[in-house]
Structure 1
């Protein structure tokens, strides 16, 4: 259960690192930085921020977060009061309740999930076009 081997995160991309569980009845006040997988079954009052580009945050139905969430992979089924930034994928289950804006690249939302805020799609960064030819830019 608590190993540093590769794990599937539901999105097909392997997650490396330890699994951290914030148990029911536990309250953490302050910002939390994490790698690997974090499962919130208790309450966090502060910002949750992934430090790696393949981390995953899961919020269970009994869990809650008061503060922002920043992670590549986010799966929510509890209550969030704050903005959610999912750089890759955001999954909202039936009991998800979000009071804040969500920023996502890919969104999966089941019937019953509620959002009281803006939904902002984060597109891939546009590819840079080659610089125009200097000779073609001069008037004839």
Structure 2
């Protein structure tokens, strides 16, 4: 989703020294430098990006397509596309993601759950057997015969 396409613009900011309590829904992009106590969810109708900066503290659920964390999150994190954990990221809660980039120094106290594996487990309880039935890959550089 975010490979070569332009990311959505960050249109909203919760500044340092600000504290918001309650559920928060946003579109496009949101940057948090202050504190949020409550769930933060991106509107699912368009691509979204959420940046939780080094000075930010979030207590509650975090959900967006692309989530970048360099601050503290106490609660579950759900990145439907990409989760970037920068060196000062601290998460206490379950983390689910489609793709993960984790820098040295980031800390997670909770379970990591790839979205792909969750979907397979829910759709097909026998997914491990399906994975064993994959064909053997042959190296392109080797000549056979």
> Does 2:56 correspond to 1:63?
yes
Q: Which residue of 1 aligns with 2:20?
A: 28
How far apart, CA to CA, are the structure 2 residues paired with 1:112 and 1:59?
A: 16
> Does 2:72 correspond to 1:85?
no
Q: Is the 8 A contact 1:41 1:61 kept in 2?
A: yes
Cα offset, 1:82, TM superposition: 0.1
RMSD of the alignment, in Å?
2.1
Gaps of 5+ in 1: 1-8, 129-140
Count of equivalent residues: 119
Runs of 4+ that moved beyond 2 A: 9-18
Q: Secondary structure at 2:116's aligned position in 1?
A: coil
Structure with higher helix content: 2
TM-score by length of 1: 0.78
